Structure 1
Amino acid sequence: MIRTVLARAGLIAAAACAATLLGAAPAAAHGADAPDGTDYRARVTGVTPARPGLAVRVIEAGARLELTNRTGRAVEVMGYSGEPYLRIGPDGVFENTRSPATYLNRTLAGDTALPPEADPAAAPSWRRVDDGTTARWHDQRALWPESTPPAQVRAAPEREHRVRDWTVPLRDGTDPLTIGGTLDWVPPPDAYTWWAVSIVGLLAVGALGLFAAAAPAGTRALAALGALLVVGGSVAVAYPVGREIDAGAQGVGGVLSGLLSGQIWSLLTGLGAVAAGSYALRRRPAADFAVALAGACLALFAGVANAAVFARSVAPVPWSPTVARVMVAAFLITGVGATAAGVLRLRAASRAATRTPALPTR
């Protein structure tokens, strides 16, 4: 009976993970293909000459620029050939369908094929793309598009390097403006150290399964696993929230909209871990399976999915990269450890249920 239940539970877990993988694929393009991490730090130094109400910043770990125009006048972003590319004003955000930048900036790599109507010398043809006063776009002038680092980085990769100072031209009516910024190479951290810490931690948490499988310490160990899952799940909810904020989401509504449209599985993973942890804290029946399944999803969809920060110096969150790495390590430690502990408890329960008692002798 126990084996049949476990087999069915395994099928349910496999189906859930498969559905999650299929559902998560389209979300990878959320936020205009925001990277999971990078070694290039882009910064905006300011707009020259300054305009009150005009603000520019870098978002998504430097993948995009964000311009907000509250001046009450339309401001244009110029394309790579000096043609009008974007127009941001009180009547909304418009893109010039004749500008090659309109198509090149749709991807981080800038490799979109240009349609025949893309002609920087042609008169602008404006198309509204948003009703607000904020535009976000990839800009190759603020990025390093090559897969190979610059020569100075290859010569001394252990040092920080200024790759270049960059500019993006604007136009306020007939007045030229300039967005100024910098692009630096920042040496990546030692990924092996973070993986080693994670492995040691998950082994320690997994060892709780040995205690949780034996009475009388079993209930206390199960409660400890539940508490860890609650904490890990809460942090797993906070991480995609941070990614949405770093992607430019404004207010609670903007963050929720971004989570539901592009980070739904990350959000559900965190909430599921919190629920499973609360279930284990209350020592409910079948808590072992809930702990194991929630731990596996937490490790996979919150830990492995964001593990790029172990090897990247810039993380796509509004806090320090070190904090981001600690959070991802916590996902892996809690997730894999809880999975191992839950499996050990399930195995112990299966053995206990199938053990045949000795017959009394006369």
Structure 2
Amino acid sequence: MATSRHLLAILLTLIPHLVYSNSSNGFFYQELLNGNGNGEIHFNGVKLHVESEVQSVFAVRGSNVTLPCRYWYDPVLNTPRKIRVKWSWLPPSEEHESDVLVAIGHKHRSYGEFKDRAHLQQLHPGQISLLLTDVRLKDSGRYRCEVIDGLEDESATVDLELRGVVFPYQPPHGRYHLTFQAAQKACAEQDSAVATFDQLFSAWQDGLDWCNAGWLADGTVQYPITQPRQPCGGLSMAAGVRSYGFRHRHLHRYDVFCFSSSLRGRVYFLEHPEKLNFTEAAEACREDGGHIATVGQLFAAWKFMRLDRCDAGWLADGSVRYPISYPRANCGPSEPGVRSFGFPSPHHKHGVYCYSSQ
């Protein structure tokens, strides 16, 4: 009899901690108190789901973009849950994710390059989308939306891809002089970033044809060919993106493919009464309230603003180029593009392309 009373007492103490679902299928979860007094749920038949309704989202530099994500329970729970939301980011050239934002309820914290630019959108029940403001060139990559409820942990991914233009680049001292680190620096100096394979592949689909091999963001070396020819892999090879595979980032030297996105300001050909050498050109742009344009800025202006000018002009790296959106006689080849005269002597006289943030 004493034993029966003892068992009954134990059962009576457990009953208040058993919580049953209102659904007819009998699923339930049990709430156990852990050492610090916070409730932790051990699910039994309740499934946590996390989903992004799209695989990829596209944006341009300087814009705001929303990466969609939502969560729900099956069967539906009638009691609100306190969950932890975490957004992380895997850049194209990296192996490990970085924290973007962590949130509990309506409180959140953003990290690193995303500090004060990453915000959680919770406009509807279950919505935990990520809003990124002032998108930057390096923001492209795979983003993971993770929901943690007690011991349950589910996630979904969405890719952020930037719209832009890919251009091959080699420094003034000639072909195949850039290590991977030097390639990163060269693109950054041109207001751009090292292109990803997806960006180069998309450019190839749009007609980019270039026979010099260049670094990509993942450390591979590749080049796009739309018209097979003997010096570029041979006539027997089909059109495509040729690959040298992964190369040693410190020992091997190549050119680089850079990527530039939307332009915040404007690029313009400076109307000047006379031609200018390189030093005079840079000074003329400063006197006009701007600065001499970079190669990336000229390509972005050509791509996004249809800049079209049949006059060669200095750029910040010491090259001379001009943009053609509407091919015509005496303005180079029959395809649109940015024409290049290479790196003439800085004493030669040319026009100049300036950039203004206004």
TM-score by length of 1: 0.22
Specify which structure has the higher proportion of strand: 2
Specify which structure has the higher proportion of helix: 1
Give the number of the structure with larger relative contact order, counting CA–CA contacts within 8 Å between residues 6 or more apart: 1
